[in-house]
Structure 1
Amino acid sequence: MINKFEIGTLILRVVLGLTFFVHGLVKFQGGIENTVDWFESIGLPGFLAYGVGLVELLGGIALILGLFSRIVSVLIAIIMVGAILKVKIAAGFIDGYELDLALLAMSVFIAINGSKAFAVDQIILNRKKS
């Protein structure tokens, strides 16, 4: 039986996954070269755009499915800390890093607690135990 905590965590996991999947998809649909150029314009190595885009795209799918949720959430948390410190902090809280901070909190929550409800990881683990 799924408890309220797991239902709440499932909602966070799916919303976080969907959010990052769409962000990653947009990076690749719009031409990842644009993101590479933007990374370089703010002083980051351009190749990081590929890593960030892949974590967002594939990590978003993994979160939605409940696959490697803790690991993906740690990677997303790292991306959010970088986004806040490198890009958003100068704009302040409102219209700056407020959304990034909320996404960071969601990812840290899932990294700490995991998410078992309707998760592929749990299906695999339950089959191995049987």
Structure 2
Amino acid sequence: MNRYLADDIGKLILRLTLGLLLIAHGFAKITGGIDGVQAMLAGYGLPQALSYGVFFGEIVAPILLIAGAFTRPAAVVVIINMVFALLLAHTGQILSLGPQGGWAIELQAFFLFVAVAVALLGSGRYALRAD
């Protein structure tokens, strides 16, 4: 297989994996509401209006990632979203193991570091707007 073709397929797989897995979390926010996010923000003295950013980080950005449009900015939005999630909801778990022995925040770390990789790599050839 051509090296460049393999690189572009790898970028597509990263984008689709991040986008599809993250959008499920956004769907849960649409159907279940964002009261929990608002409560966490209020607990830290932050404006509850910031909670609506979760829709950009978990719905809009994943859709852009899946489509391959504005891929790098969308990945940066996911990075910001995950940093907020880690700081607001998972700080106490950063140095912990989960019940099955894995890192307690492995899912959040996965989302964060795959978003960093996508931001650095770009969309690749198989995208609406290659960058």
TM-score w.r.t. length of structure 1: 0.81
Partner of 1:107: 115
Number of equivalent positions: 123
Which secondary structure does the structure 2 equivalent of 1:117 belong to?
A: coil
Q: CA deviation at 1:40?
A: 2.2
Partner of 2:88: 86
Deviation string 1:11-59 (CA, Å, 9 cap, x unpaired) is 1101111122211121121123443234324544211110122331111
Say whether the 8 Å CA contact 1:89–1:97 is kept in structure 2: no
Q: Matches of 1:22 and 1:99 in 2, distance apart?
A: 13
Q: Which moved more, 1:6-15 or 1:30-39?
A: 30-39
Deviation string 1:52-104 (CA, Å, 9 cap, x unpaired) is 22331111111111111100101111121222233213123433322211211
TM-score w.r.t. length of structure 2: 0.80
Matched AA of 1:74: V
Structure 2 unpaired stretches of 5+: 99-103
Q: Matches of 2:40 and 2:31 in 1, distance apart?
A: 15
Q: Matches of 2:121 and 2:70 in 1, distance apart?
A: 12
Partner of 2:56: 54
Give the root-mean-square deviation of aligned CA atoms. Answer: 2.1
Residues 6, 81 of structure 1: alpha-carbon distance in 2 compared, 3 angstrom cutoff: same
Q: Which moved more, 1:73-82 or 1:38-47?
A: 38-47
Say whether the 8 Å CA contact 2:40–2:89 is kept in structure 1: no
Q: Matches of 1:42 and 1:26 in 2, distance apart?
A: 23
Q: Matches of 1:56 and 1:102 in 2, distance apart?
A: 14
Q: Counterparts of 1:21-36 in structure 2 under 5 Å?
A: 21-36=23-38
Q: Matches of 1:33 and 1:85 in 2, distance apart?
A: 17
Structure 1 unpaired stretches of 5+: 126-130
Say whether the 8 Å CA contact 2:72–2:122 is kept in structure 1: yes
